[in-house]
Structure formats: structure tokens, C-alpha cells
Amino acid sequence: MVIKPMIRSNICINAHPVGCAKDTERQIAYVKAQKAKRGIKSVQEGGDGPKMVLVLGCSTGYGLASRISAAFEYGADTIGVSFEKAATETKGGTPGWYNNMAFDRAAEKDGLVARTFSADAFAHETRQLVIDEVKKLGKKFDLIVYSLASPVRTDPDTKVLYKSVIKPQGKAYSGMAIDIMTDSLKESTAEPATEEEIENTVKVMGGDDWRLWISQLSDAGVLADGCRTVAYSYIGPELSHAIYRDGAIGAAKKDLEKAALDLDAQLKKSVGGAAYVSVNKGLVTRSSAVIPIISLYLSVLFKVMKEKGTHEGCIEQMERLFAERLYTGANSSAAEVPVDGEHRIRIDDWEMADDVQAEVNKRMAALSNDTIADICDLPGYKHDFLATNGFDIEGVDYDRDVSRMDSLDF
């Protein structure tokens, strides 16, 4: 069958297996090139970077990019967890299912240990599964990446299902967004979250589950001396704070940051380790495409940063996080990590640079349907939107028949 993107309400609901695999391979090639450029030695070459890494939310975005950086730049063995819909011969799987398959194939080719579990990362049983696996390997984790982004979470003890929302607090928020189908502006409004919705969002996207993972791994004795853990967040510009940083999702991210402080103290005491939240750059995701003002802001931001030569995607951000923040010591060892006044790693520094934000604000003020094509990076935004599902990837023949949906056959 010939697979074309199916877009409903600014969300792509299908994936191209070959495209997903090609994009995963592109990211792997990038970090290998950076490894050579930076002169980084892998573990196998005598380097002192991460050796055994757990990535929670390993299949797409920053989680996948983190796993790729750890494995193919530093030579780390990895365990990845994500909840995916598997493909069958005739029915497609999620993009993450294909990405994981491509990662595992590449890791095996390079002689790296890679264990990938499609499982509910919020469940105690999954934590035990990971513990059993790392013990079977005779290893301990020296890095745990927490990159879960889910709309729902079932509490593992009470079995209560919580749902997250992306809504403002206090009052409704209206803003313009990009209609990806028509290249035009449309107004979008988000009603304010209720107190219950805010509490539920914190339960899903806050620090509760991260704490459980570190606690259970610690109790099982599978944290190496000096083990570090990092979770991911976003702050963004003031114009988006009402819907994001000061909204329901922002309340969850602030809870995540509080968890980082608590876990940092805990890990320092137990294994001489550390915990961080890394504030990353804004990128196109399934959710950002439907949040008022965010899609518009990102499309302007991309154009400005590309003009300045500072634009980054997921893999560029995570490679820089590893090489210029987490592993800056001798022979790529873990060294002191630069943080802001609230103990956060700021890898969003290029996005939030004063000159970048000033230019973005100037262009945002001039936006209209008449100027959108000139002011926004519509091609770049569209590419990123499609690429997350394996479409618009260089080197893929999208008119070619895909004989099986459960294969990465080229």
C-alpha cells in the first residue's frame, strides 16, 4: 500500500515505517559525526561517559534523542521504556514503535546492548521488569532520563485514572494558531482549567512518578555510584506563559522541578549522585500544534534562529545537553553541571537569547494572513510536523508500495 499522511484537526494520525526508520538513522548519523568532531571516546574506546542508561519515554522527541546520544556517541548500553501500539502486517503502529525498532536494529549492528519494553511506565510492574533486566545484565544505571509525556496516568497504588490538560488557570486564553492545512491563521481559545483538572495534570505530568522510579530503583540497589537523573521541561517566552508556564501544565512542570531538588538531595546522600530538570527549546510536537499561540510562536522562532544559525531540533539539543552540560569532565566524565538560580539546566539558552526574543516579538507584532508566508517558517514547521510521524523525510519514496506495515524493509 502507498502511505500518505492522514491529518485530522492539526494532528497526524498515521505513520510511515520507512520514514520513521530513516529519521532515526539520520539522528544516529548526526551524533556519530559529533562524536568524531568533539573527539569523544566511547565506553568501548576507554571513555568515561555514561555506561548504562535508562530512558523512560524513549520512543520519540527528546527521549529518543537522549537514548541515541547516550548509545551512539558515548557507547552506553540502554534500556528504553515507552507505551506503543505495535504494527501488524496490514495495520500501522505508532511512530515510536517504528523508531524503537530502528534504534534496536542499529544498536545491535554496533554491538550495543539495547533492551526496549513497550509497557506502561507508570506501573510498578514495569519498574520491576526494568530492575530484573538490569540485574540480569549484571549492571547498574549511571543515568536515568525521565522523558514521559502522556495525556493520562493510572496511579499504581490507588488505580485512579488521571487526565492532563493544556489549559490556562483563572480565565480563558485566546490566541492565533497556524492552520497546517491552509497555511493561514485561525483563532483558538482554551477555557480555564478547573482545580480538579490542575491537580490531575500535576498527577500525570508532575514529579510523582519520577520519584517512584528513583525510589524503587534505589531500593533495588541498581543505581551506580554517582548516578544522575534528568527530566525535561519547557518555560518559553512570556507571551505563552498564560497557556503554558502559568497554566495547568506549568503547575505540573513546577512540581517536576521541586521533585528534582528533593531527588538531588536524596541521590547525593545515597550514591553521591544528582538530579536535574533540563529546560529545553520549544519544538513541534503533537500537542504544540494545537495550543493557542505556540505553533505561531514556534514558526517565527524557527525562522529567526535559522537566520542566526542557532536553530536546533531534538537531536541537536540532546547531543549538546550531554556534551556541554552533563559530561564535560576529563575523558567525557561527569563533571559539575552549570545550572540557573533554581537548579535548572538551561539548554534553551539559544532560544531565550535577548536578540532572538526581541526579533521574534517584532515579527509577531506584524503577523497577519497577508504576511504569514514571509514572517513564519511555514516549510520548516510543516516538515517538523510531518517528520514526527515519518513523513517528508529525505531519501524516502512516498509513492513506493509498502508491502508490510510491521517491517522497516527498504
Q: Among candidates 2, 21, 3, which has minimal Cα distance to 410?
A: 21
Choice among 244, 276, 327, 381 that is catalytic: 244
Rounded Cα distance, 257 and 263, in Å: 10
Query: In the annotation, is 62 catalytic?
Result: no
DSSP letter string over 227-271? EEEEEEE----GGGTTTTTTSHHHHHHHHHHHHHHHHHHHHHHHH
Q: Which residues contact 221 (CB under 8 A, 6 or more apart)?
A: 140
Helix (H, G, I), strand (E, B) or coil at 128: helix
Distance between first and last Cα of the chain: 14
Rounded Cα distance, 114 and 108, in Å: 7
Rounded Cα distance, 335 and 330, in Å: 8
Helix 195-205 to helix 248-271 angle (10° resolution) is 40
Rounded Cα distance, 384 and 386, in Å: 5
Neighbour tally for 85: CB within 10 Å: 14
Rounded Cα distance, 55 and 406, in Å: 24
Active-site residue set: 244
